[in-house]
Amino acid sequence: MDENKPDIIYYSQDNSKKPKKKNFLSYFIVAIVAAIIGGIVTSYIAPNYLYGKILPVPAIYTQGKNGTNTAQKINITPNSNVSSVTAVAEKTISSVVGITTVEIQNDMFWQREVEGVGSGIIVDSNGYILTNSHVIGDGNAKKITVLFEDGTKKSGKVLWYDTALDLAIVKVDATGLNAAELGDSNNLEIGQLAVAIGNPLGLDFQRSVTSGIISGLHRTIQVDEYNVIEDLIQTDAAINSGNSGGPLLNEKGQVIGINTAKIQTAEGLGFSIPINVAKPIIEQVIKDGSYKIVYMGITGVEVEKYEAQLGVNLNVDKGVIILEIDPSSPAKKAGLENGDVLTKIDNQEVENMSQLKKILYKYNKGDKASLNIIRNGKSMNVDIVFTVLK
C-alpha cells in the first residue's frame, strides 16, 4: 500500500431491498377519522365534560339555563340611519319645491334674461314657501315659478326677503299644501343625523336626498365683500348648486335649517341657516303679509373701511362709525351723535351695518337695549328703546 495515498473506504449500496410505495388512501382515511373524532370532542365532549371540570371554560362559551355550556351569541345591530333617512324623505319630500326664476341682467350695451334654479320648503298649507334670498335674485327676479312634487307649476310672488339673512318668503295661490314640520335649531348637537333635500344640479335631479351629520354649529362664512353670515349650521350632507333654499332635516323629519351655501374648494362643507332665525319672520308674514324689524335710525360704515377711505386712525379695533342720524328716530332719542362708534348691542359685537341689521331681528317693538359706544376716545353705555318698525 502506498503510504502517500490516503485511505479510501468504499461503501457498497444494498439494492436487494426496494422502497415500499406509499399508500395515500390510508392517509386519507386516517385524516377523515381524526376530523370526526375532533369534531365530537370540540362540540360535545369538551363543552359538557371537560370545560369547567378539567379544562378552563373558554370565553366563547357561557353557562346555559340548564347548567350546560352553550356557545355565546354575538349580536350585530345594524345602523338605523338608513331607515331613518328613508322615513325622513317619505315624510318631507312632498313639501320640497323647485323654484325657477328669470332675472334681467344689464350688460354694457343691452339687457338679457338669466334663468336660475333653486329649492324651497312649504311652511304653511296656504302657499307660503321659505327659500333663500339669492334664489329669487334678491328681489330682482322678473318671473318666479314654483314646481310641486305632483308636477304642477304655479306663479310665485315675493312677500319678503333680506339679503343679509339670505332668506325670502314666496307666496303661491294654493291651499291644502303639505307643509313641513319646523324643528328647534337651538337644541342641535354635533354628530346628529342631518338630511338635505333639494335640486342639486337643476331640475333634472329634483328632490335629491343626501344625508350626513351636523358637523359644526355657530359657523361664520364670508359671502361677499360686505356680507358675513353668522351662526350657521355646518353639515357634511352633500349640498350643491341648486340645493339652496331647500331644507336641512333632523331624524324626526323636522326642518332645522335652510341650506344656503357650499364652499366650492372643499368637500363635505355645507351650511344652513338655523330655522329659529326664520320662525318669527314666517309667523309675521303669514299674519300681516310682510315683516318689519325694529328701526334704529342711523347710517354708518365699518371702522376699518372709514379709516382706509379717509386715511385716519380712530384708535378703535372694530365697530360702526355713525355718519348720519334720523332726527325722529330711537337713536336720536337715545342721545347718539354723529362720529360715535357703535361697538356692541347688549354685549353682541357690531362690526358692520349688515351685522347690525341681523342683530336687530332679535328685538321686538318696545324692547330696550344697551348700546356700547366710543365717543371722543371714551367708552360709554347708552340705553335705547325700539319704538319704530320699518
Known catalytic residue at 218: no
Return the closest-CA partner of residue 213 out of 233, 197, 190. Answer: 190
Residue 134 known to be catalytic: yes
Q: Which amino acid is at 329?
A: S
CA distance 141 to 198: 20
Q: Residue 149: beta bridge partners?
A: none
The active-site residue, picked from 95, 119, 124, 166, is 166
Query: From the candidates 134, 162, 208, 340, which is the catalytic residue?
Result: 134
Residue 61, classed as helix, strand or coil, is strand
For 54-106, strand residue ranges (E) read 61-63, 69-71, 96-106
For residues 223-248, one letter each, b for 16 or more C-beta atoms within 10 angstroms of the residue's C-beta and e for the rest, the string is: beeebbbeebbbbbbbbbebbbbbbb
CA 94 to chain CA mean position, Å: 21
Instruction: Determine which one of 95, 133, 244, 354 is catalytic.
Output: 244
Taking only Cα atoms into account, the Rg of the chain, rounded to an integer number of angstroms, comes to 37
Residue tagged 355565546 (cell numbers): 72
Is 166 catalytic? The answer is yes
Bridge partners for 302 per DSSP:
320
Residues catalogued as catalytic: 134, 166, 244
